[in-house]
Amino acid sequence: MTSPTPYPAPPLRRLWSSRLWILAAALGALTVHAAVVTIHDGNQQGLAIGLVTQATAMHLSALASARLERLALEGFAPAGPLAASNPEPGTGRATIELLATRQRSAEACACRDVLPVSHFLHFDPSSGRLELVRVDSAGSGPEPPERALTDLAHTEAESPRGASNAASRLIVDPRLGDRGVVALVQRDDHGAPLAVYGMVVNTTSTLAALFDRAPQRSAIDSAGLTRLDSLSLEVRSASGDRLFGTLGSGRARAIARLGGPLRGLTLTIALSPSRVATPLIAPHSPIRLWHLGALLIGTILVLAIAVTTSRRELLLARARSDFIAGVSHDLRMPLAQILIASETLSMQRERNDAERVSLVSSIVRETRRLVALVDNVLLFSRFGAVELKPSLRPVAVADLFADVTDAVRLAVEDAGQRIETSSASGAVVMADRRLVRQALVNLIDNALKYGRAGQHIRLVAEQRDGVVRLQVEDEGPGIPEAERNRIFEPYTRLGHDQVSERTGTGLGLAVVRQIADACGGRVWLENRPDRGTRAVMELRSAAPAAEPVAATPEIA
């Protein structure tokens, strides 16, 4: 006995979300690989050290300039008020003597930082007279050359007012030897020089006070990326003479042209790789960063699309499950009614002719209900598969309404409700009669299902501006405005209907919208002023407007 041939396993249906998750995983792996390669690229270390060195040089120069300006302003503090309040001759001499006294006091008490000043000078631009006062009266050092000081003070007084934003400046000149002058020009409101005050300082000691102070850290140093030592910086004059510091060999160098109170000097920073903290986050080329960013953005987009698609597929699966349950219920109830009525008739158990007519009417009613249900499913599937090409012809609204009321008569009577029609005289629409009839039947079926018991359903036609509006009005609870557009989507039901005993396929209103679009019209829902819902289908008119006629008698 041969074993039965097993059925082939059904092919695995790959959902779009599965493919998107695979693509997202591949892009994520590629992004991680690109990031690892970019971050750990050793060829960028040299560029990184150079950038760190340049940033350190710029920051140290800014710190030194700010420190010199602060110390100079503290040293020259009495010069401004004295000169402004005493314009008579002899004020300059008194001012620099006061400055020298304050300098000696500050050096004696060590209560504040001061520059290593040996002399204070005053220069009068109008007379060209230079006055000089020694700070340490017992000092034995040589006097600075007055001619050189006069020339430097005159040049500083004649310099343009906007040459620098700094109030003071350190001047280095070969004629002064190892000395320099920290000069301050006092000007009037028009920018004309009134006086030049100066401090004669030791250049090396002054630069040491500015650059060689703890903690010697820049903004980058504060993060622990660099460590400066005695071979890390050097300051040179405009002529190239080394004024302070010594550079080590085999180091990355960066040159900063100093400005402000140190303008004219050059700062050079030299860092060895051992002085740069590791691991170093190396800078990368813009092209690599753009590639890495594009990969990252692509990965995020694919992940977002995958999540959205998975969510849609889950919602669609749940909607299909609800659809199958609704269809099963809607098919089972009419079939049960047809089966009961048919068995009763076949066994001749009806008691009289009236009961026989009632059973036959029940079979007809439930059969029409089944046909309408099947038509909705077929129409919806046809719209999704191929483009529907309706046969648009002029359709008389009165005849259309009569056909619709005849189709729903038994369902209306069974529900204990009433339907009445009212249309404009001679109203004609350009539409597919069969499709529009199905749409109106769907709208009336919704009114029967969700309206109150014993309600009046009105089927109204209004003609205006070349269009005809076919309206189905009920007396139900109405539909919230936020839900009116959403319920036209397939498989969609209102929240309170999902937990109620009312069932349905969720395709009725979706088919209505598809029919309206296919016929070149539109459909929407609105609440009636008093109570209930009005469903409006607007179609093109095939004839000019006419006067309205009276409503037809009620069907009860």
Is there a domain that residue 26 lies in?
Answer: yes
Tell whether 165 and 274 lie within a shared domain. Answer: yes
The DSSP symbol for 13 reads -
Tell whether 103 and 171 lie within a shared domain. Answer: yes
**Residue among 502, 549, 498, 541 at smallest CA distance from 519:** 541
| 200-224 mean pLDDT | 70
Tell whether 332 and 396 lie within a shared domain. Answer: no
Tell whether 191 and 304 lie within a shared domain. Answer: no
The per-residue pLDDT for range 472-507, each reduced to its tens digit, is 998 888 888 878 778 887 767 665 454 444 555 667
Is there a domain that residue 305 lies in?
Answer: yes
Tell whether 149 and 249 lie within a shared domain. Answer: yes
Q: What is the CA radius of gyration of the chain?
A: 49
Host domain of residue 293: 16-35+289-342
Is there a domain that residue 324 lies in?
Answer: yes
The per-residue pLDDT for range 416-454, each reduced to its tens digit, is 889 998 877 788 999 988 889 888 988 888 888 888 888
Tell whether 296 and 266 lie within a shared domain. Answer: no
Tell whether 154 and 56 lie within a shared domain. Answer: yes
Domain C-terminal end among 232, 257, 283: 283
Domain C-terminal end among 266, 283, 300: 283
Sign of the torsion angle spanned by Cα atoms 197, 201, 204, 205: negative
In the three-class reduction of DSSP (H, G, I as helix; E, B as strand; rest coil), residue 27 is classed as helix
Is there a domain that residue 351 lies in?
Answer: no
Indicate if the pLDDT at residue 203 is higher than 70: yes
Is there a domain that residue 11 lies in?
Answer: no
* Burial class of 164 by CB neighbour count within 10 A (0 to 12, 13 to 18, 19+): middle
Is there a domain that residue 352 lies in?
Answer: no
The domain that holds 395 is classified in CATH as: 3.30.565.10
Tell whether 268 and 411 lie within a shared domain. Answer: no
The per-residue pLDDT for range 100-146, each reduced to its tens digit, is 888 888 888 878 888 899 999 999 998 889 999 998 866 657 888 99
* Domains: count for the chain: 3
Tell whether 294 and 233 lie within a shared domain. Answer: no
Tell whether 188 and 318 lie within a shared domain. Answer: no
Q: What is the dihedral of CA 534, 540, 543, 548, to 10 degrees?
A: 10
Tell whether 206 and 320 lie within a shared domain. Answer: no
Tell whether 190 and 135 lie within a shared domain. Answer: yes
Statement: the pTM of the whole predicted model exceeds 0.75:
no
Is there a domain that residue 347 lies in?
Answer: no
Is there a domain that residue 132 lies in?
Answer: yes
